[in-house]
Amino acid sequence: MSNQGALVFRKGDKVVYPQHGAVVIEDIVERDFDGARRTYLKLHVSIGDLTLMVPVESIEQVGLREVVSRKEITSVFGLLREEEVWLPMNWAKRYKANLSKLSSGDIYQLTELVRDLSCRERAVGISSSETTMLTKARRFLISELALSLDSAQEDAEVALDAVLAERFAHSIAPHESGP
């Protein structure tokens, strides 16, 4: 992407950086790097109070996107209520598929991951690696919900847990397929 990408996002925009969850663009700055002047988005990650600098020409490559709208949150909560998708019985295959969803930066894949691992955890248990993945996926999802709804992280977590509790009230065992 060219420097024209600087016009895509503005200071104060709420965006998702797939490796860190939802963030706010604190500023757009120019810096000299390796003898060339480059434009960067200065991102504030609320989780861990981290600041990231992303070159404008790299925003597409890193998967930076706007947070979903309030209207789309209804679809996200609807997806949480749906029956989970089949999960491979083989741990390595399941982990690889789930890692792909976590890294995608797509809120719907992230939502499926939270739903499916939460259901599996409740029904049959999950490994410590999957527990870590679920914790990270929940953190990313909650961060985006909070920014989309203009609410505190804690309120977004309560909303997520309420929808999952509703889902569990009508739950059946997760679907699994063979090796």
Domain of residue 93, residue span: 70-177
Do 9 and 78 belong together in one domain? Answer: no
Reply yes or no on whether the pLDDT at 160 is more than 90.
Answer: yes
Do 81 and 150 belong together in one domain? Answer: yes
Contact 30, 38 (CB under 8 A): yes
- 43: domain CATH number is 2.40.10.170
Residue 116 to residue 98: CA distance in whole angstroms? 9
Q: For strands 50-55 and 176-177, give the pairing.
A: unpaired
Do 84 and 101 belong together in one domain? Answer: yes
Instruction: Render pLDDT for 39-57 as a digit per residue (tens, 0 to 9).
Output: 999 999 877 778 999 999 9
- 156: domain CATH number is 1.20.58.1290
Q: What is the pTM of this model?
A: 0.85
Do 107 and 29 belong together in one domain? Answer: no
Do 98 and 159 belong together in one domain? Answer: yes
Q: What percent of the chain has pLDDT above 90?
A: 66
Do 25 and 106 belong together in one domain? Answer: no
Q: How many domains does one find in the chain?
A: 2
Do 57 and 75 belong together in one domain? Answer: no
Do 88 and 27 belong together in one domain? Answer: no
